[in-house]
Amino acid sequence: MAEKISLSKKERLSVALRSTFLQGSWNYERMQNGGFAFAMIPAIKKLYKSKDDQIAALKRHLEFFNTHPYVASPVIGVTLALEEDRANGAEVDDAAIQGVKVGMMGPLAGVGDPVFWFTARPILGALGASLAMSGNIMGPILFFVLWNVIRWAFMWYTQEFGYKVGTKITEDLSGGLLQKVTKGASILGMFILGSLVERWVSINFTPVVSTVKLSEGAYIEWDKLPAGGAGIKQAFEQYAGGLSLSPEKVTTLQDNLNSLIPGFMPLLLTLLCMWLLKKNVSPIIIILALFVVGIGGHLIGLL
Amino acid sequence: MNIIQMILIVVVAFLAGMEGVLDEFEFHQPLVACTLIGIVSGQLVPCIILGGTLQMIALGWANIGAAVAPDAALASVASAIILVLGGQGTKGVDTAIAVAIPLAVAGLFLTMVVRTLSVVCVHQMDAAAEKGSFKGIEVWHIIAVCMQGLRIAIPAAALLVIPAATVQGFLESMPAWLTDGMSIGGGMVVAVGYAMVINMMATAEVWPFFAIGFCLAALSDLTLIALGAIAVSLALIYLKLAESGGSSNGGGSNTGDPLGDILNDY
């Protein structure tokens, strides 16, 4: 029997780096197949010496594949382990390898999408964006660095994990861990979304509901202030003491809504968007419609 | 703008285009793409603000399975270029955002075209595999990525060729009611992205957490990091409680839900 061939860390790292380009030739026919084959090349070169075996391996990995691009890493890890066994003469046929790939990609995509696209990215993005909106360069830097550290650590360690445990990982997946991660991510995500809706969706209704004349002493009497710095000081003191800036108390529609619960209208708007999306209205149509509403509402003085 | 800056902008556009499909380094996210264009064009601050504002709108744009989201790459690159050419500084941000939205649709269309063209590349890979040619597979894979890069680089280059005066003239000819209205619209558009995400995640079980987050966010003393810490704690507590609740009721068909049991018995 020939000497056992195994993949060194160098080849595994090379595969992981190449898997960064997993979606490069994403296509409507077989999706990530080109990228998967592209990533596997260093391993195939090492494991199979005969041309026929190489050709068979390449064709095997040009079959349909599609999952979330980061959780593809554990799948690649397991596939590497299987290919290694096969190269060493174990009875691993094409169907087994294909079965593992297809069997893992579905459930893993179900984790990758909520965890990365719907939890990590919105949270890191909102964190970076809230800094960036005041012109702070730390916003983009923070987002970029954190994201790539998390991504790369995840990709490398899950690929190594997949390679080490081989096919056992499929049993792990049916355990509760995966479900727990997904549920934890959705709790985190929903909480943050709730706060984002309150903080960042802005609707301001400008119509004046009431104008009440305030009693004397409840507002700053500008004409009675001393001139110069002393007057400004006194004005600030009075303002801090709760006096109003003008003799009338103006209540806009927005003030009334805010006293119900701040962010009530943004919440309604978000629920409306959700409903429209469920009715299969394209998000682009909704976005364009909101711009039209914004312009129209501004013209008639409502917004 | 000198020729070196123009070349660098096209390079940034190329990276953004590649990332638009790869989704790895996140060069196509507005926060990153706009900032990079700001760095190479020398107008850093307005571009960062544009990036931050667009990022808020694009938070929920994600490619799920075979479905393709509105394209953040073209939207951020082109609107940043328009902002730079317009020369209005931070005042131009609102207009640039309004321009970005139709561009996101155009970019979506372009990426679908390229993703269809990539089918041809994959067939070339099949042929290469048949001959056992590793090089062939690698080359065609790289060609496919480059097509995605060009998808953004070409429109960006085209925008740069348009004289700055034309862009400025166009932006200045927009009346105030239109730009004000658009920025009001921009404040509401954010909701669409959130709605997309909520639709993907919402179950009856996690809605209460949405409500808690919504109410706590009204306290402006809490930063996003503080809110994040609360959210993580709640998630951990919930998972722990769910687990211990589950184990004490372990075995049998008992769901640990008294109301459910009553309904079942009924």
Does residue A193 contact residue B213 with C-beta atoms inside 8 Å?
yes
CA–CA–CA angle B218, B211, A107 (5° rounding): 125
Q: Is A137 exposed, middle or buried (0-12, 13-18, 19+ CB in 10 A)?
A: middle
Report the half-sphere exposure of B232 (CA within 13 A, side-chain side): 8
Per-residue confidence (pLDDT) for residue A214, from 0 to 100: 72
pLDDT value of residue B141: 95
Which one of A137, A267, A293 has the shortest CB-CB distance to B48? A137
| Residues of A with Cβ-Cβ distance to B106 under 8 angstroms | none
d(CA B28, CA B13): 9
d(CA B104, CA B71): 5
Q: Please report the pLDDT score of residue A118 as a whole number.
A: 82
Query: For the whole model, what pTM was predicted?
Result: 0.77
B250 pLDDT higher than 50 = no
pLDDT at A1: 44
- The SS3 call for residue A250 is strand
For residue A238, the model assigns a pLDDT of 76
Closest chain B residue to the Cα of A202, Cα to Cα: B187
pLDDT of residue B255: 43
Evaluate the CA torsion angle B231, B232, B237, B240 in order and state its sign: positive
Q: Quick one: tokens of A239?
A: 């303002």
**pLDDT digits over B102-160, tens only?**
788 788 888 888 988 898 999 999 999 999 999 999 999 999 999 999 999 999 999 89
Average pLDDT over residues A268-290: 86
The answer, for A300 touching chain B at a CB cutoff of 8 Å, is no
Q: Which residues of B touch A117 (CB under 8 A)?
A: 62-64
pLDDT confidence bin for B245, thresholds 50/70/90: low
Coil, strand or helix at A27:
strand
Question: pLDDT-derived band of residue B260, with 50, 70 and 90 as boundaries?
Answer: very low
Q: Among B121, B182, B224, select the one facing A130 at the smallest CB separation.
A: B224
ipTM: 0.79
As a whole number, mean pLDDT of residues B44-64 equals 87
Q: Which residues of A, range 202-221, sit inside 8 Å of B by Cβ?
A: 202-204
Q: Read off the pLDDT of residues A195-213 as tens digits, 9 standing for 90 and up.
A: 888 888 878 787 777 777 7
The answer to whether the CB of A189 falls within 8 A of the CB of B194 is no
Task: State which residue of chain A sits closest to B149, comparing Cα positions.
Answer: A24
Touching check for B177 and chain A: CB below 8 Å?
A: yes
Give which of A23, A137, A264 to mutate to test B binding, by max B Cβ within 10 Å: A23
Determine the residue of chain B that is closest to A62 in CA distance.
Answer: B126
Q: Work out the angle at residue A161's Cα, subtended by the Cα atoms of residues B28 and A144, and round it to the nearest 5 degrees.
A: 20
Rounded Cα gap, residues B31 and B44, in angstroms? 12
Token pair recorded at residue B48: 């960062």
The DSSP letter of residue A118 is: I
Average pLDDT (A179-203) is 83
Q: Using alpha carbons, list the distances in angstroms from residue A175 to A180, B146, B230.
A: 10, 41, 28
Which H or E run contains A174? helix A168-174
* pLDDT exceeds 80 at position A158: yes
**What is the pLDDT, as a whole number, of residue A272?**
93
Q: Do A21 and B180 touch (CB under 8 A)?
A: no
Are B24 and A19 in contact by the 8 Å Cβ rule? The answer is no
Q: Is B228 on the interface with A (CB under 8 A)?
A: yes
Alpha-carbon gap: B113 to the closest alpha carbon of chain A (Å)? 10
Identify which of A35, A41, A290 has the shortest CB distance to residue B185: A290
Which among B138, B198, B214 is the nearest to A195, CB-wise?
B214
Instruction: Name the pLDDT band for A145 (thresholds 50, 70, 90).
Output: very high
Q: Contacts for A209-216 with beta carbons within 8 Å, 24 or more apart?
A: A209/A251, A209/A252, A209/A253, A209/A255, A209/A256, A210/A250, A210/A251, A211/A248, A211/A249, A211/A250, A211/A251, A212/A248, A212/A249, A212/A251, A213/A247, A213/A248, A213/A249, A214/A244, A214/A247, A214/A248, A214/A249
Of B18, B56, B200, the CB nearest to A200: B56
Mutation target to probe the A interface, by most A beta carbons within 10 A, among B184, B206, B238 is B184
Domain boundaries, chain A: 9-197, 208-299
pLDDT class of A105 with cuts at 50, 70, 90: confident
- Selecting from A148, A186, A195 the residue whose C-beta is nearest the C-beta of B213 gives A195
